[in-house]
Structure 1
Amino acid sequence: MHQYAAFLRGIMPTNPNMRGEKLRGVFEGLGFAKVSTLLASGNVVFRSDDTNVPALESKIQQALTAELGIPGGTLIRTRAQLQALVDSDPYAGLTHGRETYLTVTFVREHPKSIPDFPEGSPVRVVRYDKPAAALLTVIDNTDPSTTGFMQTIEKAWGKDMTTRTYLTVQKALKKMDA
């Protein structure tokens, strides 16, 4: 079986339909094995014999919309993609904390260009990781202008993406091995 992590867009932890047991139930109902949720923000690890990731994304999103009313988007990464990303040590010497966020923005399709953050922006692009289809950034969270981060990415790439902290990506990878 193949190991996957699904990162769901538009999850609100306060909505009871989006909590672990309901999300897990949708995935288990689709026949996936070793389903486990991570945090209350739309992260699900699971196993499947299927290797067609776009078909899996579509199947999951249809079920989430039909069963839980979650209209966002589903982006899946394989265990190998996440392991390669973590092994590349993209944030060498940096620590995620209250003042500095290390973020990973997963996209469905490779972009033609990297979003243009304005001069003096609290966002620093580390790199675009092609194997994981992910933009790696560092956000200075002490700057109140960080609220424009998602708008800048959406303007450049549309809404078919989702952002997680690097810590969440690392936790998803560990959960796959549990």
Structure 2
Amino acid sequence: MSQGTKHLWGVFLRGINLGKRQMKMAELKACLEEAGFTDVKTVLASGNVRLTGEGSAEAVKARIEKAISDAFGFKVGVVLRSEQEMDAMLKGNPFGTLDPEADLTRHIIMFDADLPKGVTIESRPGDTEILRVDARDVYIAAYKQPNGRYTEHVEEVLKPLYQKIGKGNLDTMRNWNTIEKILK
């Protein structure tokens, strides 16, 4: 994406509002506006932002990370998706094949860098199902378990993937409803 042209971005912060890493969304919005972003809208209190910014994905991400670090005093991992990538996620929605009556939640794990080509993840039917693995995204259906939790076994199912990619690849998981809200 060329310098000088403004683009809409979906911004997903990793690990905020946990422990001492607290930030109010109004303060996050003000911080990003002060950094020169426009049309800033936060979605929920877990670090989801839609904004307009100028520059490449790398430049926008670096500006966001610096602004947050300067304003809040701690570093935050940022996973960024362009408007085109978000549109493609919504249009390619793999959740449409699921039973609408099933008691499940829909999630996406977004990675900052490409996953290894041809990577596969074994599902647990009726528990944690991997619906699709894209270059930087994993789509998951998590079914309600006897203990009432939905994502009880997600980490276990994803363990082989994390062993393969190592610790250097930043990721963040979001409920699919959040992704749908980002572009509204």
TM-score by length of 1: 0.81
Structure 2: 5+ residue stretches without partners: 1-5
Equivalent residue number for residue 131 of structure 2: 126
Equivalent residue number for residue 76 of structure 2: 72
User: Does structure 2 retain, via aligned residues, the 8 Å contact 1:96–1:102?
Assistant: no
1:24-50 C-alpha deviation (Å, 9 max, x unpaired): 011111100111100001001100121
Equivalent residue number for residue 105 of structure 2: 101
CA RMSD of aligned residues (A): 2.9
1:114-171 C-alpha deviation (Å, 9 max, x unpaired): 46457668211111123xx211111113255833424636444436100101110010
User: Does structure 2 retain, via aligned residues, the 8 Å contact 1:13–1:19?
Assistant: no
User: Does structure 2 retain, via aligned residues, the 8 Å contact 1:115–1:156?
Assistant: no
Separation in structure 1 between the aligned mates of residue 101 and residue 32 of structure 2, nearest angstrom: 32
Report percent identity of matched pairs: 22
Say which SS state the counterpart of residue 106 (structure 1) adopts: strand
Tell me the amino acid that sits aligned with residue 127 of structure 2: P
Greater fraction helix: 1
| Residue 138, structure 1, aligned to residue 141, structure 2 | yes
Cα 1:119/1:21, change in 2 over 3 Å: closer
User: Does structure 2 retain, via aligned residues, the 8 Å contact 1:123–1:138?
Assistant: yes
Equivalent residue number for residue 60 of structure 2: 56
Cα 1:168/1:14, change in 2 over 3 Å: farther
Structure 1: 5+ residue stretches without partners: none
One of 18, 25, 28 as aligned partner of 2:30: 25
| Residue 160, structure 1, aligned to residue 170, structure 2 | yes
**Whose radius of gyration is greater, 1 or 2?**
2
